[in-house]
Amino acid sequence: MGEGHESVVDTTLWLVQIPSEIGDEAAICDAVENRLLKRWPREAIQRYSHSLVVKPGPQRADRPTVGLFGHLDTVVCRQDGPARIEGDRLIGCGVSDMKSGLAIMIQLLERLDFDALGVNVAVVFYEREEGPYVDNGLGPLFAETDWLEGIDLAFCLEPSNNRLQMGSLGGLHATLRFAGQRAHSARPWQGENAIHKAGPLLSELLAYGRRPVEIDGLTFYEVMNATIVTGYGTRNVIPDRFELNVNYRFRPGKSLETAKAELLAWVDGRCEVVITDESPSGPVCLSNPLLAPMLRREGLEVQPKQAWTDVARLALHGIDAVNLGPGESAQAHQVNESCATQLIEEGYLLFESYLKSL
């Protein structure tokens, strides 16, 4: 499929047919760039590595700016066949997370009369979202271009089933290292079992549950879980090392410093703690005036974002941001990932009518 797509579903299928696993975004960036150059002049499109920033139409200083953000990459593909439409579903790697959102962004750039809008629009396609926080492709964009300055409200078109999701949980990954003393497993009293030393902390994690926090009428849940274990030894040896990855997800508005202090206070010296990844939380911005027309939409559900997205990164740069995309949250990263075509079509109409209403 090439030039002249007739629908947002067609555009989604076109995107899904272009492999773009994280770290391999060159081909999809080239394809999107070449397609947009058929509608917009080069001066409206800036490229940095495998990311694009598009500013269509006139950019007037007396108008606010709305940003649309979407990542080009996917997780490792796990599909049992080619990208395809079966009945009312589109099947393919990244269709929900988040090529259906990218398709909406492309279709808006191709269809809308930006001269007639009451706002400026910036559309951002970026690389390397599906990986460590420090490698995210938005970081270099903010460092290398001023085209992201002055955005008054941003939409991250992450999968949210066309529901407006506010805020973003922060996250910590920490390696908990337990040290023991090797011994023969027939004589364990001669050593110290590093795995057993982790027992009390594991019991506390089991009892941690989910801890509700209400912000502006939305309930977020703070959670802490063991996600990876690493042992050292053999079947008949009392291990002298054991490592546990703990993932702590914390509420919007809590700082990384506070979250790290809470984690360390909980461990309380019972093992070595090494923070391996950290992502800030993103605030709830229900009071942003540009969001009002979206909030007034009949039937639009507003939810807390019980996950991390680049809403948090945008907030660090002074940009209010929300999550709203057609992808199905439950399908993100799944084997044989899919999305209802109706959600994709409804998502396009949602953004089209919103931008025209401002």
| Distance from the Cα of residue 242 to its chain's centroid | 31
Q: Are 346 and 180 in contact (CB under 8 A)?
A: no
Contact 219, 304 (CB under 8 A): yes
Phi and psi (nearest 5°) for 142? -65, -30
Examine the residue annotation and report whether 73 is marked as an active-site residue of this protein.
yes
With H, G, I as helix, E, B as strand and everything else as coil, classify residue 345.
helix
Torsion of CA 322, 328, 332, 338, to 10 degrees: -150
Determine the distance from the C-alpha atom of residue 34 to the mean position of all C-alpha atoms in its chain, rounded to a whole number: 26
Structure tokens at 142: 């903010």
Amino acid at position 256, single letter: L
Residues 6+ apart with CB under 8 A from 179: 194, 197, 240, 241, 271, 272
CA dist 146 and 143 (Å) reads 8
Catalytic residue among 73, 130, 278, 310: 73
- Residue 129 designated active-site: yes
**Is the sign of the CA dihedral 100, 103, 107, 109 positive or negative?**
positive
Options 25, 97, 127, 129, the catalytic residue: 129
Tell me the C-alpha distance between 301 and 322, whole Å. 13
**Angle between the 8-16 and 100-111 helix axes, to the nearest 10 degrees?**
130
Contacts of 295 (CB under 8 A, 6+ apart): 164, 286, 302
Active site (catalytic) residues: 73, 129
